């Protein structure tokens, strides 16, 4: 099966990138630890238990218990009527999911990777996102499209793209992207309960990462608000925005910058659409500097939208040009050394923050 092949490829590739993943562990201490995989699994389990209208469908989600074991144990607990294995036909099962949502059910549609959602984008955009508006509010579409998004490791250009800016550009969709176990658990619950279609962008390399969780997060009633960012680290010298795996990189960069006298504020966006513009602008008005970080392509990216928002609303507060850190403007290379060069690294964030704080030679001067 395709999932087994991808698991083997990932296991081999992780050995090469283990040092990079270690930066994701920079998080506050707490008594209990939970992996992102466990957080997603528990959120699905609790929402399916609480609401019989919720069901899961996708490739290998049942008998194989998910290509990444997110749906482990759910088939046994809820049966094949609520955990449905589908053929390899994203357009087919995405369309079935939208139809079920029209009928009043709450499907959670898993894509083995969001790269494969390109086969289903007509249903996501035209069938799901636009129906509420075109029906004058008479028809809601409570559906979640979820799965790994962005670069993994050694899977080439066609399996490595970030679709955050693609889906976030479409009115009618909500787009969420978790970083920690708290994010994954709280945001997935919010997505399933939401009356509108939600695109839920996970990260393959974060599934096995452990994060501290409080008793509040473990409570079955826990849910995070859609459209609200989280300030992961307070600071006064420069604002760094990031989402998904890049939040961990931003936190690691902030630790390095602190040793050099730069106090960085790190914002975990959590929600790409709606975007928490008020939190971002409030931070920039305090720090007077902005660095955006994302894995996706630079042109028309999430960072570009954030920069535009800050220029429109907080231009007078800026003491330095805004900087965007993004993936290289090329299809993802397969070779490991080139792959590393194509996605943002911690040192890229550090250099950008130093430039913004006038601790390094600006790019224009260096050129």
DSSP 84-150: EE--S-HHHHHHHHHHHHHHT-EEEEEPSSGGGGGGGHHIIIIIIITHHHHTTTS-----EEEEE-S
List the alpha helices (DSSP H) in 245-328.
Answer: 245-259, 277-287, 302-314
User: Which one from 46, 47, 60, 90 is the annotated catalytic residue?
Assistant: 90
How far is the CA of 130 from the CAs of 127, 197, 343, in angstroms? Answer: 6, 10, 33
Residues 6+ apart with CB under 8 A from 119: 89, 90, 91, 94
159 flagged as catalytic: yes
Locus of tokens 């501290």: 212
164: nearest Cα among 327, 22, 319: 327
Indicate which residue of 110, 123, 159, 202 is catalytic.
159
Q: Which residue has the tokens 């990444």?
A: 68
63 is catalytic: no
Task: Give the pair of three-digit tokens for residue 149.
Answer: 């998004």
**Known catalytic residues?**
90, 159
């Amino acid at each position: 099966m395709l999932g087994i092949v991808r698991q083997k490829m990932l296991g081999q590739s992780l050995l090469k990138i283990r040092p990079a993943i270690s930066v994701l562990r920079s998080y506050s201490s707490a008594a209990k630890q939970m992996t992102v995989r466990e957080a997603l699994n528990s959120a699905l389990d609790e929402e399916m238990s609480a609401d019989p209208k919720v069901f899961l469908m996708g490739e290998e989600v049942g008998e194989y218990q998910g290509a990444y074991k997110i749906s482990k144990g759910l088939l046994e607990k809820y049966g094949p009527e609520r955990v449905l294995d589908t053929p390899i036909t994203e357009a087919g099962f995405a369309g079935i999911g939208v139809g079920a949502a029209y009928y009043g059910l709450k499907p959670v549609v898993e894509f083995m990777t969001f790269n494969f959602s390109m086969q289903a984008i007509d249903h996501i955009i035209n069938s799901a996102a636009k129906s509420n508006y075109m029906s004058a509010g008479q028809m809601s579409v409570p559906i979640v499209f979820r799965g790994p998004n962005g670069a993994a490791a050694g899977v080439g250009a066609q399996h490595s793209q970030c679709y955050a800016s693609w889906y976030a550009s479409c009115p009618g969709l909500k787009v969420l992207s978790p970083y920690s176990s708290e994010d994954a658990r709280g945001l997935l619950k919010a997505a399933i309960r939401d009356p509108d279609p939600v695109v839920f962008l996970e990260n393959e390399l974060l599934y096995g990462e452990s994060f501290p969780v409080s008793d509040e997060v473990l409570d079955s009633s826990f849910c995070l608000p859609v459209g609200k960012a989280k300030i992961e680290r307070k600071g006064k010298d420069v604002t760094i925005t990031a989402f998904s795996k890049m939040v961990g990189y931003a936190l690691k960069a902030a630790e390095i910058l602190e040793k050099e006298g730069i106090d960085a504020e790190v914002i975990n966006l959590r929600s790409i659409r709606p975007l928490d513009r008020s939190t971002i602008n409030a931070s920039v008005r305090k720090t007077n500097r902005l660095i955006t970080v994302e894995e996706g392509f630079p042109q028309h990216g999430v960072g570009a939208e954030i920069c535009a928002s800050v220029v429109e609303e907080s231009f007078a507060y800026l003491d330095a040009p805004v900087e965007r850190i993004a993936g290289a403007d090329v299809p993802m290379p397969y070779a490991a050394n080139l792959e590393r060069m194509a996605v943002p690294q911690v040192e890229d964030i550090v250099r950008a923050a130093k430039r913004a704080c006038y601790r390094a030679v600006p790019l224009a001067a260096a050129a």
